[in-house]
């Protein structure tokens, strides 16, 4: 089995686990919606409708949602004591990292799609969807996933990981 096949296997396992228990994706979508709404209340409704402010509100919410999804993904393994077994498999660390990144990027793509629609509705933004906006969101989601996975892994065995992961991840993002 090649390295890419192992990465695909881990990613498919992660996505099927998320499908069985979609608490990470549901929490992330809810988090994005609430955070965009609260941020728009903080900056004011007229200011939140500005394209640059709305984009900033969306990306802040998506960064935190990525942390929520990644932490939940690793919490599943910690709860089942499966992480150590996954690491010792052939191609373990590399396949685990690659699979987690692919699964997180796929989940974040879904969260970004739903969060983008919610942002359009909640902030009452005009619907203008040029190709470059879609490209930026796709590239942003792809770039966001490995950074968040690395930061979650760094704080994995710590008690205060819920507080430390955002502190580690947000300066890098």
> What is the per-residue pLDDT across 44-53, written as a single tens digit (0 to 9) for each?
777 877 878 8
Residue-wise pLDDT tens digits, 17-49: 888 888 888 888 888 888 888 888 888 777 877
* Residue of 115, 117, 121 lying closest to 144 (CA atoms): 115
**How remote is the C-alpha of 106 from its chain's centroid?**
9
DSSP category for residue 50: S
Q: How far apart are CA 164 and CA 152, in angstroms?
A: 9
Residue-wise pLDDT tens digits, 66-115: 888 888 888 887 777 777 666 677 777 788 888 889 999 999 999 999 88
**Taking all residues of the chain, what is their mean pLDDT, rounded to a whole number?**
82
Q: Which ranges in 44-160 belong to alpha helices (H)?
A: 45-48, 51-80, 83-88, 92-122, 131-154
């Amino acid at each position: 089995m090649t390295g890419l096949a192992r990465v695909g296997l881990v990613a498919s396992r992660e996505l099927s686990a998320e499908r069985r228990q979609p608490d990470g994706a549901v929490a992330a979508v809810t988090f994005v919606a609430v955070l965009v709404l609260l941020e728009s209340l903080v900056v004011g409704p007229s200011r939140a409708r500005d394209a640059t402010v709305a984009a900033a509100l969306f990306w802040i919410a998506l960064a935190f949602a990525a942390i929520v999804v990644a932490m939940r993904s690793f919490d599943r393994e910690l709860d089942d004591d499966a992480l150590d077994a996954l690491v010792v498999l052939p191609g373990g660390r590399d396949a685990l990292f690659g699979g987690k990144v692919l699964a997180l990027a796929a989940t974040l793509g879904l969260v970004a799609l739903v969060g983008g629609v919610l942002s359009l509705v909640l902030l009452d933004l005009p619907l203008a969807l040029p190709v470059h906006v879609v490209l930026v969101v796709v590239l942003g989601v792809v770039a966001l996933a490995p950074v968040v996975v690395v930061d979650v892994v760094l704080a994995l065995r710590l008690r205060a990981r819920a507080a430390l992961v955002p502190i580690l991840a947000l300066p890098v993002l």
